[in-house]
Amino acid sequence: MRSLEALHAVLDPAAIVTDPQAMALHLSDWRGKYRGAALALLRPRNVEETSAILRWATATRTAVVPQGGNTGLSGGATPDSSGKAVVLSLARLNRIRAVDVEGDTLTAEAGCILADIQQAAAAKDRLFPLSLGSEGSCQIGGVVSTNAGGINVIRYGTVRDLVLGLEYVRADGTVIHGLKPLRKDNAGYALRELVIGSEGTLAIVTAATFRLFPRQRVSATALCGLDSPSAALKLLSLLRQSAGERISSFELMCDAEMGLTLDLVPGTALPLERRHSWYVFIELADSDPSGRVGELLTETLGTALGENVLEDAAIAQSEAQAKAIWHLRFAVAEANRRAGPIVSHDTSVAVADVPAFIAAVEAMATERFPEARALFVGHVGDGNIHVVLLFPQQTRRDRLGDLAATVNERVFAIVGAFGGSITAEHGIGRSLANALSQSAQPEALELMRAVKNAFDPLGILNPGAVLARP
């Protein structure tokens, strides 16, 4: 504990936690898949204290694992088992510093919960469009550091498209004051873009300035039953013609995943008369109160039914029904957590390749892992498909690591053949660091290492995440 002594002079007592019970929640991830140990959990209240912690970490060569809401799915916020690192929780940096209605921007500290930011924007009659199943727990620092996606990317892009300015602390404690609300800024290299999505390996994010959008006044939600992923893409094409940029979400789910969700998550119900092989979740929204999104959706789904693109559809008739439809989609991660031993992936391919990609993964899974069920769910409008292989309950837990390595190898080979990405939105974390070293172009990897070295020459920021240890 000697090395922590210097911190007591600069931090309040509540900022330094070494009690094992109090630290426990911070030493494993949401799924309980990764576990680690730490010298301490540090909880600064502001950017100055965060900077002091990093100066101390540099002086003592202590590894720092930043943590937000700890909902990440790639093991990036969990320390290794050495017990030598500190976990740096940004949860107490939780002020919304400003909402600028005229300029359509919002500035929030890293520890703010995403749902609170959505509400703060709504309270000023604006929209903050980032929406994820974990929005009640994940934090601004986490969503920035993972470049999170979610269900509205098809319309508003990922976090990278929403961030205008960033305040962050370098490994040596220097604060970079980049909270500019500028829409255009070509002054030098875009360092902010490097920090976004760097999963705590380049800097500690302490605050961000985001773009806001006009609040949606009218919306229409539907759950559709279809026979194939190709039908889903035909439906997307029809919707693009009729509703254009009003498409806020377009999500795909296979029936096996729907079955698990209905069976395992309380409060879920299928609003269709029967089960279908595939489902699409749609949301159209318009900031113009006279926008005809309800009629547009009804007409387009009618056309799709007439052209045999669709088998059935339920259009929400109330806000409660719309919420119930989205509950089915958001409950998937919980269903998978309860379902049993799974190996999951967060892949992306070109949107047009989604049906062939799914077919290729399904064929591989049937041949190589006949005991497993292949599940598919995801943001099909972005080409982002979560592939999940669910193994029987009796699968020995100590076999899962080897099994996951073999499944990953097979799935990533297919991703490679389609020119896709091994992670679309969850990030590399610790779970895919080796896979990144094997799949990235060596010269690109060399550049990534050079960037890491420029930001963090001692390698104390989240070591082992993103870039595998040499």
Ligand X SMILES: Cc1cc2nc3c(=O)[nH]c(=O)nc-3n(C[C@H](O)[C@H](O)[C@H](O)COP(=O)(O)OP(=O)(O)OC[C@H]3O[C@@H](n4cnc5c(N)ncnc54)[C@H](O)[C@@H]3O)c2cc1C
Instruction: Write out the binding residues for ligand X, residues 317-376 only, by CB under 6 A.
Output: 333
Nearest CB to ligand X, comparing residues 158 and 300? 158
Which of 450, 452, 4 has its CA nearest to residue 202? 452
Please tell me whether residue 291 binds ligand X under the rule CB under 6 A: no
Nearest CB to ligand X, comparing residues 134 and 347? 134
Q: Which of these ranges, 59-67, 184-192, 364-372, 403-411, lies near ligand X under the rule CB under 6 A?
A: 59-67
Amino acid at position 429, single letter = G
Which of residues 36, 66, 381, 383 is near ligand X by CB under 6 A?
66
Q: Which token pair is 207?
A: 């605050």
Instruction: Write out the binding residues for ligand X, residues 192-221 only, by CB under 6 A.
Output: 199-200, 204-205
Rounded Cα–Cα distance for residues 416 and 348 (Å):
10
Rounded Cα–Cα distance for residues 144 and 200 (Å):
10
Nearest CB to ligand X, comparing residues 130 and 236? 130
Which H helix or E strand runs over 17? strand 16-17
CB of 66: closest distance to ligand X in angstroms?
A: 4
Please tell me whether residue 54 binds ligand X under the rule CB under 6 A: no
- 3-state SS class at 66: strand
CA distances from 428 to 96, 143, 434, 465 (A): 29, 14, 9, 7
Q: Which of these ranges, 72-80, 182-190, 247-255, 316-324, lies near ligand X under the rule CB under 6 A?
A: 72-80
Please tell me whether residue 248 binds ligand X under the rule CB under 6 A: no
CB of 345: closest distance to ligand X in angstroms?
A: 13
Please spell the DSSP secondary structure of 324-387, one letter per residue: HHHHHHHTHHHHHHHHSSEEEEEEE--GGGHHHHHHHHHHHHHHH-TTSEEEEEEEGGGTEEEE
Nearest CB to ligand X, comparing residues 220 and 377? 377
Q: Which token pair is 71?
A: 């909902």
Q: Which of these ranges, 37-45, 126-134, 286-294, 358-366, lies near ligand X under the rule CB under 6 A?
A: 126-134
Contact call for residues 268 and 240 (beta carbons, < 8 A): no
Q: Which token pair is 216?
A: 């949606």
Q: Which of these ranges, 67-75, 180-188, 212-220, 233-241, lies near ligand X under the rule CB under 6 A?
A: 67-75
The residue number with the shortest CB distance to ligand X is 142
Which of residues 148, 226, 254, 415 is near ligand X by CB under 6 A?
148
Contact call for residues 106 and 96 (beta carbons, < 8 A): yes
Which of residues 425, 432, 463, 464 is near ligand X by CB under 6 A?
425
Cβ contacts of 12 within 8 Å, gap of 6 or more: 45
Please tell me whether residue 79 binds ligand X under the rule CB under 6 A: no
Sketch the per residue contact string, 82 through 121, with ligand X: x for CB under 6 A, - otherwise.
Answer: --------x-------------------x-----------
Give the torsion sign (CA, 225, 293, 383, 432).
negative
Size, binding site for ligand X by CB under 6 A:
37
Please tell me whether residue 68 binds ligand X under the rule CB under 6 A: yes
Rounded Cα–Cα distance for residues 243 and 286 (Å):
10
Q: Which residues in this chain contact ligand X in the complex, by CB under 6 A?
A: 30, 65-73, 76-77, 90, 110, 132-134, 138-139, 141-143, 145-146, 148-150, 199-200, 204-205, 333, 425-426, 429, 462, 465
